[in-house]
Amino acid sequence: MSGTTGEVCAAQTTSQNGPAELSSTLNTPSYHGTLVVRVGDPTGKHVAKAKVILVGENGKIIQSGDTNPQGQWVTHLTYHADPRLSMTRPLGTTTALVFAKGYNETVVFEVPLGQSSVAPVTLTPFVLGQRNEPQATLGNLHHILVADMLDYYAAQLGIARQSVSDLPMRVPANNTAPRP
């Protein structure tokens, strides 16, 4: 992967200018990447002026910023490969806190970080008379990444994911198979 610094970092820095470095207690190589945080609501509206805070695993703020009129905030980071998720490519993780007027605050845990990452966040609007508690959700972990993780750790114990035979050799002429 391009952008590899090759350095082994256990020390942590925060940066206000230029690429911020994601703090890590891991002795893993660091990589440069771009993260786009996109904030919207259930109606598909882009949420501008949302405040996004990225927190590293040592609990310190790494970077923060506001979304633009398209609901996007773009930041450049140096991240450390998280060995739990780096079976096929180096990936890091961060935690994103999102604040926007009129919406419930949302914390997104385990936001994956790669060379070029997108973190979609859907905020739920304040509803008068409701409790309007903050929301917690998970980052957009790719299903193929999840499968790789399962395979990797299962193999270490000599087990494997179940093989479900759900592959019909022919699709019926009127393919109306019910879905849950």
Tracing tokens 């391009």 back to the chain, one arrives at 2
Find the binding residues for other proteins in span 102-131 (CB under 8 A): 114-116, 118, 120-122
Place of tokens 């952008």: 3
Among 44, 59, 69, 158, binds other proteins (CB under 8 A): 44
Closest to other proteins by CB, 1 or 10: 1
Q: Which is closer to other proteins, CB of 44 or CB of 129?
A: 44
- One residue of 58, 89, 109, 159 binding other proteins per CB under 8 A: 89
Query: What token pair was written down for 34?
Result: 């771009």
* Residue 55 to residue 156: CA distance in whole angstroms: 31
Min dist CB 11 to other proteins, Å, is 29
Strands 61-66 and 51-55: antiparallel
Residues β-bridged to residue 140:
none
Closest CA to 79 of 52, 51, 56: 56
The footprint of other proteins (CB under 8 A) covers 38-40, 42-44, 46, 71, 89, 114-116, 118, 120-122, 137-138, 140, 142-144, 147, 166-171, 175-176, 179-180
